[in-house]
Amino acid sequence: MVKRLSVVDVDLCVGCQSCMFACNRRFGEAGLGRSAIHIQSAGGIERGFVVRVCRACPDPPCSKVCPTGALIRREGGGVRLNYAKCIACGNCVRGCTLGAIFWDVELDKPTVCVYCGYCAGFCPYGVIRMEEVA
């Protein structure tokens, strides 16, 4: 079954960013530069947090604006990035309505969720979880 990361309840988020660090550790690295999930406050900590991550749209705008067909639609929703085809133009970053495509400076390529769910294992408050795409 095709899965995606789902934000269960954003009000449970405490802003610890453990998910961001987890995403970066997929590459065996510490820090934040390669993370495909982003947590920021909703205009100040007192207002809570925003989770920016790919929601695996069934008809993804990022794929439509990719001039080289590097962002391949995944069956059931979402995209897969073909790094060989990507020319690092950044259209997808601007094209994502949710702002859920980031930039990996090390590779000089976009970074987008691969729906692996590793981050969800480090969210102690159940803000995010993997779910099957209906």
Partner 1 sequence: MAGSENAGDLSRILYVDLARRTYWVEERPELFTEHFGGAGAGIRLLSEECPQGTDPLSPKNPIVLAVGLMNGVFPLASKTVAMFKSPLTGNLGESHAGGRSSIAIRMAGYGAVVIRGKSESPVYLTIDEDGAKFRDASALWGMNSASTVGRIIREVEPGAGVRTIMRIGKAGERLIPYAYVTTETYRHFGRLGLGAVFGSKNLKAVVVSGKKSLKFKDPKAYRALYEELFNTFCKSPLMCKYHELGTPMNVLPLNMTGSLPSRNLQSNRFSGAQELSGENMAEKYLGRRTACAHCPVSCIHIAALREPYESEPYFYKTKMISYDYEPIYALGAMLDLKSPEGYLKLMDTVEELGLDAMSTGVVLAWATEAMERGIVKESDAGGLALKWGDHDTYIKAAKRIVSMENEFFQALAKGVRYASSKYGGEDFALEFGGNEMPGYHTGPVAHLGYLTGARHSHLDGAGYSIDQRMYKEGLKYTPEYAAKELFEEESWRQVLSSLVVCYFARGVYTPEAVSRCLRVLGLERSAEDLKERGRAILRQKYAFKYREGFSLRDLRIPKRICETPTPLGSITEEMIRAGLEEFERLVMG
The first and second tokens of residue 59, run together, are 């008809």
Residue 10 beta carbon to partner 1: minimum distance, rounded to whole angstroms: 12
Question: What's the burial of 79, exposed, middle or buried (CB within 10 Å: 0-12/13-18/19+)?
Answer: buried
Residue 57 beta carbon to partner 1: minimum distance, rounded to whole angstroms: 22
In angstroms, the Cα distances linking 12 to 15, 20, 56, 123, 128 are 9, 16, 22, 10, 9
Residue 24 DSSP symbol: H
What is the dihedral angle through the alpha carbons of 73, 79, 84, 88, rounded to the nearest 10 degrees? 120
24 near partner 1, judged by CB under 8 A: yes
14 near partner 1, judged by CB under 8 A: yes
Selected from 1, 46, 59, 75, the binder of partner 1 by CB under 8 A is: 46
Nearer to partner 1, 44 or 97 (CB): 44
Instruction: Evaluate whether 52 touches 100 at the Cβ level (below 8 Å).
Output: yes
18 near partner 1, judged by CB under 8 A: yes
Region of 2-10, 62-70, 71-79, 120-128 interacting with partner 1 (CB under 8 A): 120-128
21 near partner 1, judged by CB under 8 A: yes
82 near partner 1, judged by CB under 8 A: no
Residues near partner 1, by CB under 8 A? 14-18, 21, 24-25, 27-34, 38-41, 43-46, 48, 105-106, 122, 124-125
